[in-house]
Structures are given as C-alpha cells and as structure tokens.
Structure 1
C-alpha cells in the first residue's frame, strides 16, 4: 500500500511517496525558498508594469521578495498597499531568477503563510508516516540517496535504455537513448519519462526527444504511451518526424531537478545535516565539507543549535577543500 514518508529535516523538509518499495514521488521544501503557493500576503506596489508585463509588488515576507501581478490597474499608485495570493513560487534558473507570481486576493481574505509540504501531502488523503532520525531510515531503504544521485547526474536508466535530463531556462529536456528496436525503446522511454515527471514534480514546458520513428503509426503509438502513463492535466504536441514532443504542465513550484541541480551547495548542506542527525557515537560531532557547504551551515546558527539538541552532542564544523559532495559527519 502506498504511503508518504515525511522527514522534518534541519533546513529542509523532505517527503517520498513510496509504493511497493519504490519512490514514485519525491518532494523537498527548503527553508528560505520564499512564499509558497496559496500564501496570502500584504504587498506594496513597486511598478505598475508596461508593454503587457505584469505589475511588480514587494511582498511582506523576510527579505521583501518581489512578485508579478497581472491584473493591477495601471492607475494604481506606486506604493499602494495590496493583499495578494501567491500562485507560483520564485524560480531559480541558470543566469537569472524569476520572481514569484501572484494575484489580487479575494475580498475578505486573511493573511496566511500557505500550506507547507507536510500539509500538502496530508491533503492527498494517503497515509503519512513521520520519520525521525532515531527511527529506521526508511527513506534511505526506499532509495533516497540513489534518487538524488540520478537527479545530480541527469541519468535515469530503464530497461532497454536510459533518460538523460537537463533543466534549461526555457524547458526541461528529456533525451531517450537505447539500443534495439526504435519503437520498443521509444515506448519504454515514454513510460520512464512519465514516471520521472511525476517523481520529480516537473512542470512548465518539457521537451522529450524520442528515437526517430519513420512511420506515422509508430509515432501515434508513442503518443498513446505518453497519454496512458502521464497523469492529467497536461497538454502536448504529437511526436513529430524528428522524434520531438512538447508537454506543458502546471507549474507552481520548482521541480526536484531544479532544486537539486541549480543549488548544489544547499543540496549538499541538507545531505550533510541529514547524515549528521543519524551519526552514531558520542562526544563532539564533526561535520567536514568544502568551504561553501560549511559556510551555508554557519550562516544558519539555528541549524547547528537544532542539530546539537537532536543529537545531544556538541557540533564542530571543519572545512576541507579536498572533500567532494556533501562531506561527512562523525
């Protein structure tokens, strides 16, 4: 029976929907990512927008992040107080970041932070198990580390082939590679790509590059394979003669791929803290990693305090430029 495994980690909450021992959905929520979809916040108008661009508001949130709002009248005065509802989180991209999107809140709405990860998975109606550091590491048993490694490398093997995945500012690209009959590889790749999209919560524009199929019947079979495997709602093009299909899905927050690959320091810091929470032993708990990872942890003294409280051990942070990845805790 499927169930959610949820960890309230230090600096990062994580959840995995596990079905028959396999992670079919994986989600993380990091401290400091900005207001969540559904948050209702006070805001101040910064720019009314021109040339079809949405207005820009400053949100009443730590750091005063900006959000775009489409329906504000051009006659609204700069500095006007507003109440808005966040509809999409801010997104990190290579070379640029996109501000959050919001809309004017409904009359009578009350300021609220929006549902967090724990609330969202509970709302699915599927049982949620809260996993603690002292419990058996069920996330690891289900393949959490292997999942993160696949995200980092962009390489997702499946029977008969593999997916190569990259996130660009325009879209997420999924390339299907394999040996043997092209239609067989394409149909298996379609199922693997659909599973990946669900697992990593990929939204927005997605391009899938299938093996070239010369006949229309084969391309229609691949279209049908995607429709059968990918949960709605989504829109797509048909596979064209070059093997390309574009899929559009609703996008409210960054995908797991964007979170892990576009912020490797935050990823490694969270992994190191997770490892430290489960470290066995007594005495000083030493966390060793490269400078950027240690600097991120040091910038959050409350994380260190929480780690000390959870483990009952004094914590020491050590920089070692030769250490790769997340480092180690012992």
Structure 2
C-alpha cells in the first residue's frame, strides 16, 4: 500500500504514487488522449482485415482483434478498449479493442485505478511531491536516468524501447537492471524493451537477471536471458503511452498545458495573449474549450500567437 496525490490542471490530470517519501509512479491523463484501456462502448465495424479489422467508436478509429465471430462490416458491437492510442516517431498507433459481451462502461479514472490497488489518496500536491515530479519528468524528457555507478539512456522507437547503459566496469549490469526496474514502474514503461548491457561473465549475468526479477516485484513481465553480448529483452503490458513517450513525443501538449498554468497564475486583468511555439499553439487551437475555460476562470479575453512561451497582457 502507498499514498498518492492527484493534481487536476487545465488540460491534464497528474497522479503521483509515493512510498517512503519517494516518488515511485507517475501517471498522466491529458486532454485529447481519446479512449483509454478499460472502457467498454458501442463501436461500428468498418473494415475487416482477415482475423482483425478497424472499427469506429466515439469519433476514434480502433484496431479490433479478434474480429467478432459472424459480424459483418457496418455492424454495431460492444468493444472493450485494451490499449489506448499513442504517438510514435513518424506515426500514430491506433487504440486496440476486443469484442465484449458485457454492458458499456466508462474507463476507470486515475483515482479509481489507484484506489483499486489499495493506495490511499492524500490531499493536495505538496512541494516535495512537485519537486520530485519535475525532476523525474525532466529526466524523461532527456531520456536519461542516473543511478549510483552510471546512467540509463532510453530511446523510444516504433519497434521497441532501446535502453543503453552509460558507465564502466563489469559489475555494472546489476545496478543498471535495478535502475531499469525503478524506471519501468516510475514511468510506466511497457511493450518490448531491449537493453544493451556491458559484457559480463555468466555468473554476473545470472546475478544481474535475478536482481532485476526481485526489483520488479509484482509488476508483470517476461524476459529473455542475458546473452553473451549483454542483450536482454523484456516484454510488458502496454495499455497506453508511458511518461517517457509523453515527455519526448508530445512536447507540444506539455508546453501547452504549462502555458495554461502560467496564464491561470497571471495576476493581470487586461486581455491576455498566450505566446508559444507553433506546435503548442496548434495543440491549443484544437482544444478551444480549454481556452474558454481559461477565459472563464480569469475573467479575461484570451488570444494566441506564435513565439517564445509566455503570457502577454
């Protein structure tokens, strides 16, 4: 059991899980995320592609696997979302769903998910939580997580998450894999993870793998043995984008949400102009309801312009 804090910002909600005063899990639900894992809803089957196909639900395209037995294109069926959509370098990956015989049901909120795991909601967003969050999110943006004797370099690719170990010494494999286990939980890393470890002898590889297994605790995963070249592959469930992917591949959303927070804190009363790089401006333009809410809360007219991120009166 652990404590968790929720922060509802304009454009996103954050959840921080704390154990022994340390941030161990980060969760983000961002405006425009679309359907999330666990939601059940009616969907129209659009295109059959062998044993799977494409459906439309709530204005979003989904990959349906398997295709419902006996169903034809155009039919409406209940679908359960098993994986949210996310952005990859060069493309966006569709959400994934499967047929369900159960009644439609909304996706669980961040708060309900953490409550279901036995965690206890604590009030507010304390300064120590905020500080740890910002440090960990910055590390995700950089794709670099330091540990005692080196650092992990993490690069998302369409095929897998590539993890390189930066450091020296034959004994680096064990602390590196323990640090990776911490990163997996902290940032919600999933899918296929390929780690390139320093070359080590058989005993060291065995010790490192066993240390990783212990550090993962109850987190679900499968892995290969560490081969003689230092490569190991880890496979985990991937219900949606990780914090690492959000930090590196949705910088526009991150910049836009931060700009909204800055605008909410601005003490002025004159009409405000939000300035940001073009991708962040496009993100905001696609979500006029957020600008309307900002205007309502601040009692100020709001406009947008491209440029350096700031709030102009």
Structure 1 length-normalised TM:
0.86
CA distance in 2, matches of 1:271, 1:224: 41
Q: Deviations over 1:184-236 (max 9, x none)?
A: x22111111110011010111111111111x2111101111111111332111
In structure 2, list runs of 5 or more residues that go unmatched.
none
Q: CA deviation at 1:314?
A: 4.8
Residue by residue over 1:48-93, the C-alpha shift from the partner in whole angstroms, topping out at 9 and shown as x without a partner, is 222xx4122221x0x23223221423x4321112111111112322
Query: When the two structures are aligned, how many residues end up with a matched partner?
Result: 310
Q: How does 1:30-45 map to 2 (within 5 A)?
A: 30-45=30-45
Matches within 5 A, 1:1-330: 2-50=2-50, 53-59=51-57, 61=58, 63-73=59-69, 75-106=70-101, 109-131=102-124, 137=127, 139-141=129-131, 143-179=132-168, 181-183=169-171, 185-213=172-200, 215-231=201-217, 232-277=219-264, 279=265, 281-284=267-270, 286-311=273-298, 313-320=300-307, 323=308, 327-329=309-311
Superposed CA offset, 1:136-159 (max 9, x none): 555423x22222211111111111
RMSD (Å), alpha carbons: 2.2
Q: Which structure 1 residue ranges, 5 or more long, are not aligned? A: none
Over 3 Å counting, the alpha-carbon distance change for 1:67 and 1:23 in structure 2 is same
Query: How far did residue 252 of structure 1 move?
Result: 1.1
CA separation of 1:276/1:24 partners in 2, compared to 1, >3 Å: closer, same or farther?
A: farther
Q: CA deviation at 1:259?
A: 1.9
Q: Please give the secondary structure, in 2, of the residue aligned with 1:38.
A: coil
For 1:70 and 1:198, locate their aligned partners in 2 and report how far apart those are by CA, in whole Å: 30
| Secondary structure of 1:252 counterpart | coil
Change (3 A) 1:316 1:99: closer
- Hey, what's the Cα distance between the residues in 2 that align with 1:192 and 1:145? 19
Q: Secondary structure at the match of 1:251?
A: coil
1:119-171: CA deviation from partner (whole Å, max 9, x where unpaired): 2122222112353xxx7555423x22222211111111111101100111111
| Cα gap change, 1:161 to 1:329, in 2 (>3 Å) | farther
Shift of 1:283: 2.3
CA distance in 1, matches of 2:166, 2:103: 50
CA contact (8 A) 1:187 1:225 kept: yes
CA distance in 1, matches of 2:4, 2:237: 22
The alignment partner of 2:49 has SS state of coil
TM-score (norm 2): 0.91
Aligned CA distance change for structure 1 residues 241 and 11 (closer, same or farther; 3 Å): same
The answer on whether the counterparts of 1:42 and 1:82 sit within 8 Å (CA) in structure 2 is yes
